Amino acid sequence: MKKQAAGKNRYADLLATSAKDKWETIGLKRRAGILAPLFSVYSENSAGIADFEDLKLLVDFAAKTGNSLIQLLPMNEVGSLFCPYDSMSSFALEPAYLCLERLELQHQPEIKSRIEEIKNKFPRSGTYLDYGIKKEKEKLLWDMFRQEELRGLPQFRQFREENSYWINDFALYKVLKDYHNGKSWYEWDEEYKNRDSRQIETFCEEHEKEFLFQIWIQWQIYGQFKQARDYAHSRGVLIMGDFPLLVSRDSADAWAHPEFFRLDYSAGAPPDMYCAKGQRWGMPPYNWGIIAGDNYRYLKQKLKFSGNFYDLLRIDHVVGLFRIWTIPYSEPLENQGLHGFYYPKDEKEWSEHGRKILSVINDSTPMLLCAEDLGTIPKVCTQALNELGIPGNDVQRWTKDWKVKHDFLAPGEYRAASVAVLSNHDTTSWPAWWDNEAGTVDEELFISKCSHRGIDYNALKDRLFDFSRSRHARLRWLEGVSSADILVNILGKKREELADFIDMYKNSCGEKEKLWSRLKLKGKMREEADAEIMAAALKIALDSAAIFSIQTIIDYLGMADILCGDHYQYRINTPGTISDKNWSLVIPIPLEGLLKHNICSKIKTMVTASHR
């Protein structure tokens, strides 16, 4: 895509791509949006967790602040780790988000009383979500379902028929998982693990009620989610979904179609400056040859179902369609992603491999695609996104000239076909980054590099880093380490042996000062983020050339007096870790309070000024 001059024609090239009809549908114009995981918000009426009625309040917040996009994290049903990117189905949606008070029997005195009990048992006052609410809701849903008469409902039959590709397999998987006390499908009795047709048929007959219950739940979610989307449209707000690249090893997908997966491997990411050992996600990579042999029906059906709820779709880890870091499943867990390899192994295959899959996705849905293209991205991936008219991500802290100036790009230098963001679900919030990470290097990575080079880190660390200003395993350079020459001298190796150390130094030392200059704030640089600094950072993203600017609700609230304490606690997920703090962060104010807060007018003024 050719670079356009600033002005109304900046984005015209998008209409010369295969996504032309999608861009014409949503309008070729600059938009601002909010990224808000549904589990991170709540209303005064929430029963332990936000629901689809609360999504409508989030729409109201977006509309009131001038944002015309809401980006959600994946809404698929989660497993025991509650990670939306490691779901038990790439079709089925999470039952915890059902609004109990919108269901048919909610006015019955007993049901009404039990809903109130749930609200009292799971008050919405903590920093982190108690996922025990899911089981509590499911118990009540089961009791409500037992009073339903489904056989005469044409809408229920239609839903089941239209989703026959996946719904029966999913429902059966859920019932069998309960039957095996929650064990993973590959630990089930052989006849169920291997889908013996006679045993499966008998099991279905014996557990028909439970089987229909799972389909009923998905039908109820389908109806409530579509209503929320219709409400968003009535307020001029579009919904962006999130299309996870992978699905859990213990999923209905992998059980029903094991041939679609390379189950002897785990997907992940190689070591980088933020994860010294890389990452091992646990989800199996796809066997794309088998999926292609079925004319990509599995992929097309996922897109078809997602299209019921979303106007735009973010493709998670899009580079994984071209090549994916693959780790033998037998590799010890403590090695994380250290001993993996890219698949396909032949780099010459990456372009055709990724383009084909990405083209199938683009051609199989009316949703406008966006792509998470972060990390080390081969040129073939970037070229394909440009040619297909799919915006990538420009994250402010990484949108830099990494090779020459080692400085942040000006707002006008952002890619036109991109989504400008300050943070995402896998990073610290922007204030936490500014306070603790800007101008630092990862301690574990630096130690690892020293070890590989025969450098005694412990003997040199106090000559390199200011430990009084280093926090959260991030090392801040001493002021005296003012050049790469000094670094080389301290490390005691030949310069040509230290290219990666020098590169790390040039892209981190003085980083805060460089961004402070971009923020255009008066006075001496302040070490800790405040509302003024936060507003200046947001302004860069809003004023950028990127066609979309989508910021986390946490970063927007950084301009208000709502978030208290160490900014580091306001994080959605820490990659490579298992913690009850992952995927459970909740903002400390109900949506009704947020709608009344003066932060709304502040955001609206900024969005309006950016002409979005």
How far apart are the C-alpha atoms of 608 and 612, rounded to whole Å?
6
- 50, pLDDT greater than 70: yes
Asked if the bond preceding 271 is cis, omega within 30° of 0, the reply is no
- First vs last C-alpha separation in the chain: 22
- 376, pLDDT greater than 90: no
Mean pLDDT confidence for 237-259: 97
Confidence of residue 8 (pLDDT cuts 50, 70, 90): low
pLDDT score of 142: 96
Confidence of residue 124 (pLDDT cuts 50, 70, 90): confident
Closest CA to 63 of 599, 605, 604, 466: 604
> Rounded to whole angstroms, what are the CA distances from 459 to 91, 449, 465?
54, 15, 12
Six-digit token pair at 194? 């291997």
Q: Helices 167-179 and 197-206 meet at what angle, rounded to 10?
A: 80
- Enter the DSSP assignment of 571: -
How far apart are the C-alpha atoms of 171 and 186, rounded to whole Å?
17
Looking at the fold, whether 359 and 471 belong to one and the same domain comes out as: no
Looking at the fold, whether 303 and 362 belong to one and the same domain comes out as: yes
In a domain, 57, yes or no: no
Domain final position from 461, 491, 509 = 509
For the segment 303-347, what is each residue's pLDDT rounded down to a tens digit? 999 999 999 999 999 999 999 999 999 999 999 999 999 999 999
* CB distance 313 to 240 below 8 Å: yes
Looking at the fold, whether 349 and 452 belong to one and the same domain comes out as: no
In a domain, 345, yes or no: yes
pLDDT score of 2: 42
How far apart are the C-alpha atoms of 130 and 128, rounded to whole Å?
7
Confidence of residue 152 (pLDDT cuts 50, 70, 90): low
- 400, pLDDT greater than 70: yes
Mean pLDDT confidence for 201-210: 96
Contacts of 225 (CB under 8 A, 6+ apart): 52, 75, 93, 308, 309
Neighbouring CB atoms inside 10 A of 434's CB total: 27
pLDDT score of 5: 41
Looking at the fold, whether 341 and 447 belong to one and the same domain comes out as: no
Distance of CA 131 to the CA centre of its chain: 19
* CB distance 13 to 385 below 8 Å: no
* CB distance 278 to 337 below 8 Å: yes
- 593, pLDDT greater than 80: yes
The pTM is what? 0.95
Domain final position from 362, 390, 418 = 390
Q: DSSP for 361-425?
A: HHHT-SSEEEE---SS--HHHHHHHHHHT--EEEEGGG-EETTTT-EEPPGGGS-SSEEEES--T
pLDDT score of 147: 87
* CB distance 30 to 547 below 8 Å: yes
- Enter the DSSP assignment of 572: S
pLDDT score of 177: 98
Confidence of residue 1 (pLDDT cuts 50, 70, 90): very low
How far apart are the C-alpha atoms of 419 and 405, rounded to whole Å?
23
Looking at the fold, whether 444 and 340 belong to one and the same domain comes out as: no
How far apart are the C-alpha atoms of 48 and 133, rounded to whole Å?
6
In a domain, 491, yes or no: yes
In a domain, 417, yes or no: no
Q: Which residues span the domain enclosing 289? A: 257-269+277-390
* CB distance 426 to 503 below 8 Å: no
pLDDT score of 153: 85
Looking at the fold, whether 289 and 373 belong to one and the same domain comes out as: yes
Looking at the fold, whether 307 and 379 belong to one and the same domain comes out as: yes
Looking at the fold, whether 287 and 368 belong to one and the same domain comes out as: yes
In a domain, 373, yes or no: yes
Looking at the fold, whether 301 and 364 belong to one and the same domain comes out as: yes
For the segment 104-119, what is each residue's pLDDT rounded down to a tens digit? 877 788 999 999 999 9
Confidence of residue 273 (pLDDT cuts 50, 70, 90): low
Q: What is the mean pLDDT of the chain?
A: 95
pLDDT score of 148: 81
Number of domains within the chain: 2
* CB distance 118 to 136 below 8 Å: yes
Closest CA to 243 of 186, 288, 174, 299: 299
- 370, pLDDT greater than 90: yes
Confidence of residue 6 (pLDDT cuts 50, 70, 90): very low
Domain final position from 465, 491, 509 = 509
In a domain, 233, yes or no: no
pLDDT score of 3: 41
* CB distance 37 to 72 below 8 Å: yes
Confidence of residue 151 (pLDDT cuts 50, 70, 90): low
Looking at the fold, whether 282 and 380 belong to one and the same domain comes out as: yes
Looking at the fold, whether 445 and 386 belong to one and the same domain comes out as: no
Percent of the chain with pLDDT over 70: 98
pLDDT score of 272: 75
Looking at the fold, whether 331 and 445 belong to one and the same domain comes out as: no
In a domain, 344, yes or no: yes
Closest CA to 574 of 585, 563, 562, 588: 585
In a domain, 502, yes or no: yes
Of 201 and 576, the structure prediction assigns the larger pLDDT to 201
Closest CA to 384 of 409, 411, 417, 412: 417
* CB distance 217 to 97 below 8 Å: no
List the Cα angle 270/274/280 in 5-degree steps: 40
For the segment 436-487, what is each residue's pLDDT rounded down to a tens digit? 999 999 998 899 899 989 999 999 999 999 999 999 999 999 999 999 999 9
Confidence of residue 141 (pLDDT cuts 50, 70, 90): very high
- What 3-state class would DSSP assign to 507? coil
